[in-house]
Amino acid sequence: LAKGHLKYGTKKDHYTAVGQNLLQTLEIVSGDKWTPEISTAYLTAYSLIYFVMLPVILNNEPVEITESLPATISKSEPISATAKRLTLTFDFNLRFHPGDAILLGLPVAEGREVKRHYTIASLSVEGTNTVDIVVDDVSASSHWLVTQAIGATVKLYWIESNVRFEIDSPESIPSSVVFVSHGVGCVPFLVMLEGLYRVRETFYGSAVTLQVAPNQADVDAYTSAVTSTGKPIEWESSSIHYAPTVSADKLKDIAPNLAHSDLYVCGPADFIATTEEAFVAAGGSKDRIHVYSFDNAQLGARKIE
């Protein structure tokens, strides 16, 4: 474990946080009674940190970690008149979950870089050196990205976990899920839906998806192209619906179990506010609302490119 930490640039100072968190966890789980078992747990924790792991950290040089990784566009496929699915390749093994995004640095002009979040459209809990993203040509930065040739490079800064499903722990996922999105905001939810489908043998829940856009054609392309198979997800525990607007009546019509459902919403700020109001009016609970958003300015503009 300690040798693994060295690969990620871990130094002595980092182990202060490790030790503090470990002791805080022990305090929480041990309660207010001292027992021989708790004594052993504390002794084991101290021994693990100070006598097993820390010597490895102190006596070996950590790998120097750079601020970002170069990522090369290795594949570019159009999925609609304005959107493309891009594959980025890099020299590192990344793990991520459905819903995670990456922060990219785009050299849109000489001497000028902009940072933008993009939802990861591929799935790999085990780790991989490639990620897929879906980019809609709706801004200057996204236009730059979709017009790049194969072989162009960008900077990959980090994985951004705003809202995600940890599919290797399906018991942590809400059993009744409602996805409501506007336009290209359906992308993260289609990825999360495929994640649920991947663990359908152990996820004993259901998912209802409402895609909102001026025209159904605006979102139909995403429904197929975002999945790893290139086909819409067909699953008896899932249903996908379209509407030009979102309302309480529409939500009740497609998801009758709203009082026990978790809402995931993505889109512009006014759309999110309208959806939240409709969800509560239809019987949903405010504390079951999850907003999928990223602020490019503060690394939520509530918009996914």
Residues 275 and 182 in one domain: yes
- The answer to whether 179 touches 193, Cβ cutoff 8 Å, is yes
Whole-number Cα distances in Å, 82 to 73, 218, 231, 277: 18, 10, 19, 31
Structural domain contains residue 145: yes
Structural domain contains residue 64: no
Residues 185 and 262 in one domain: yes
Residues 46 and 139 in one domain: no
Residues 80 and 122 in one domain: yes
Query: Cα(268)–Cα(67) distance, rounded to whole angstroms?
Result: 30
Residues 193 and 277 in one domain: yes
Q: How confident is the model at residue 294 (pLDDT cuts 50, 70, 90)?
A: low
Question: CATH number of the domain that 293 lies in?
Answer: 3.40.50.80
Residues 126 and 231 in one domain: no
Kindly state the tokens that stand for 145: 């990205």
Query: Cα(225)–Cα(207) distance, rounded to whole angstroms?
Result: 19
Domain termination site, one of 137, 160, 183: 160
Structural domain contains residue 246: yes
Question: CATH number of the domain that 128 lies in?
Answer: 2.40.30.10
Structural domain contains residue 305: no
Q: In which domain, by residue range, is 118 found?
A: 69-160
- The answer to whether 54 touches 12, Cβ cutoff 8 Å, is yes
Residues 178 and 267 in one domain: yes
pLDDT confidence of residue 293: 81
pLDDT confidence of residue 247: 98
Strand ranges in 110-237 using DSSP code E only, listed in sequence order? 112-119, 128-136, 153-160, 176-182, 206-212
pLDDT confidence of residue 256: 85
pLDDT confidence of residue 300: 37
Q: How far is CA 84 from the centre of its chain?
A: 19
Count of the separate structural domains present in the chain: 3
Q: How confident is the model at residue 5 (pLDDT cuts 50, 70, 90)?
A: confident
Residues 17 and 118 in one domain: no
Structural domain contains residue 97: yes
Structural domain contains residue 303: no
Q: How confident is the model at residue 166 (pLDDT cuts 50, 70, 90)?
A: very high
Whole-number Cα distances in Å, 92 to 65, 88, 98: 11, 12, 19
Q: What is the DSSP letter of 201?
A: T
Q: What is the pLDDT of residues 175-218, one digit of tens each?
A: 999 999 999 999 999 999 999 999 999 999 999 999 999 999 98
Residues 155 and 177 in one domain: no
> Where is mean pLDDT largest: 11-20, 51-60, 195-204?
195-204
- What angle do the packed helices 14-30 and 36-46 form, to 10 degrees? 170
pLDDT confidence of residue 225: 85
Q: Of 225, 194, 231, which is closest to residue 209 (Cα–Cα)?
A: 194
Structural domain contains residue 120: yes
Q: Of 107, 98, 102, which is closest to residue 304 (Cα–Cα)?
A: 102
Of residues 111 and 179, which shows the higher confidence score?
179
Residues 52 and 87 in one domain: no
Residues 135 and 180 in one domain: no
Name every residue whose Cβ is closer than 8 Å to that of residue 67 and which is 6 or more positions away in sequence.
157
Cβ burial 27-65 (10 Å sphere, 16+ → b, else e): eeeeeeeeeeeeeeeeeeeeebbeeebbeebeeeeeeee
Q: What is the pLDDT of residues 226-276, one digit of tens each?
A: 988 888 899 999 999 999 999 999 999 999 899 999 999 999 999 999 999
Domain termination site, one of 127, 160, 193: 160
